[in-house]
Structure 1
Amino acid sequence: MTALAEPAAPGAEDEGALAGKSRAGRRSWRDRLVTAGAVIVLLAIWEIAARQVEPILAAPPSRVLRAMVTMTQDGSLPKAVLETAKPFAAGYLLAIVAGVPIGLLVGRFRVVEAALGWLVIAGYAMPMIALIPVFVLWFGLGFAVKTVMVMVMTVFAIIINTWNGVQNVPRTTIEVGTAFNASQARILRQIVIPSVIPSIMTGLRIGIGKAVIGIVIAEFFTALGGLGGVIVEAGHSFQPDRMFAAVVVLMVAAVVLTWLIGLAERRIAPWNRSLTGDGQ
């Protein structure tokens, strides 16, 4: 009498895993080639278009690159990057430290949502540029006001995404924890937080863009240094190559930081990619 089901061959799973890795590798290389092609096309269009206007109005990528090299050699670009990076990092970290716990509490407990939910929505919708004069009065023109501006611009996006993630946790998983007499703290730590990690990371990615806007706005108003100061100074002196050099540095930094957060998400929550699937 034959067995109803025979075990799979020992190498079957290994072959399937290798095939999956191979397909993922091909998609990865395809995506890199598409990205590189898009960048080349964009730079070519920029180069051609910028050469058709007055040099004081726009700069082609070739001039911007030369300006970046010159600014790096004379030390002005590294100095500006460092002056921008310090308050950016401080404000962004403060936004994470404040935003994630508040989002968890607002999403998990109705009392906290009733008390703070409206304030979070109002803070996210408020044009923060209107608060710059107040922040300048309170914190001066230096490091503190830049840090506060980055933090305020970023924290509400993190709170809202975390809040939304908590509310999307399946009720059945929480009921299982309640059925086993788990405390609210344990349910939050062992059920809610692992489920909300993708939403938190989405908030962090959105927060990068908000933080870049915050630091640039703060430096526009203070005009005491940093990449924002370089942009203002170059604009006033009709040096579009230096201005675009600072803008490009900000864009590249934002893209790299967003990519790093995505990489961290794949390390912290590798299951999310298999559950949601990825692009074809």
Structure 2
Amino acid sequence: MERFHVTATGHSLNYLPEYIAQRHGFFKEQGLNVSVTVPAPWDLVLDDLAAGRAEAALGGIWVPSMYRGRGTSYTAFAQVSNRAPLALVKRGSSEGFKVSDIMGRTVLLKSGNGASVGLFFKMMLRDNGINPNSVNFVQDLDGAMLGKLFQGGMGDYFFVDNVTARVMAARNPNVSVAMEMVTDGGEIPWSVYYRETEATTPGVLDAQKRFCVALGKAIDWILHNDAESFQDELAQIFPKIPVDILIALTNLYRSKDMWTTPTVSRKGFERWQKGIADGLLVEKPFCYEAIVNNGPASEARSRELLQV
């Protein structure tokens, strides 16, 4: 068995295919002994890559984009999430809500785990013809703290991960979920696997290909199984989250293309690059091939088709 350690920026429902591949032995079928750690703070994933403690980092593609030409180069070789797992919570009922209602209001943006939440929300506003400068933001505080402050009266909206949004709305009758980005936010390579470019050898590429084979098999398994049929597994993976919320969100993700293939979406990549550039993390959008090596995922797909 070949070691394949993943250093991840979180433990999230949108990473579910990786967990299923691990639990169902799909990685072992490919000769990979996959292990995972979630360092804190999240940016220690870059230290893990530099020190050779990990074969891949799992997180946002904005990181390889931001570092390109400014330090260590990283290359993404697979994606696990094809949608942003975020939601907008508002005070009161969401009946009749329109995106334009946000203008002139104050939005709390979950922070503490990178720049992607704020980047995405402002991109979403621009996509809907709204100038982000017409909205007030509080975005430099921890998500848990902002959640308490929002429920205590701070701001008008709270933009946070989808699980937290649904749990909050289920427990607090004074707030509701106005938008869920898996439905309303469009295609985007939200979570990808990447590695230092210079450390990518032919042997590494072969391991990445086998990783993609297993990840693709897990995605197919999830898409062909209603979440109710594996609710016990969901409860074991996420023991602190109510199982009814896990089931409902997993099925929503299944139906709305959260999980597609391990191939990094070119269309989503180009859209997200514009959002990253508009957020000033890069001077101008990068082309797909500058950040992504689609070879491992493409070869994995070809291998799957040959086996069918």
Q: Under TM normalisation by the shorter chain, which class is it? A: under 0.3
Q: Select the structure of larger CA radius of gyration.
A: 1
Tell me the TM-score normalised to structure 1 length: 0.26
Structure with more of its chain in helix, by fraction: 1
Higher relative CO (Cα under 8 Å, sequence separation at least 6) belongs to: 2
Structure with more of its chain in strand, by fraction: 2
Tell me the TM-score normalised to structure 2 length: 0.25
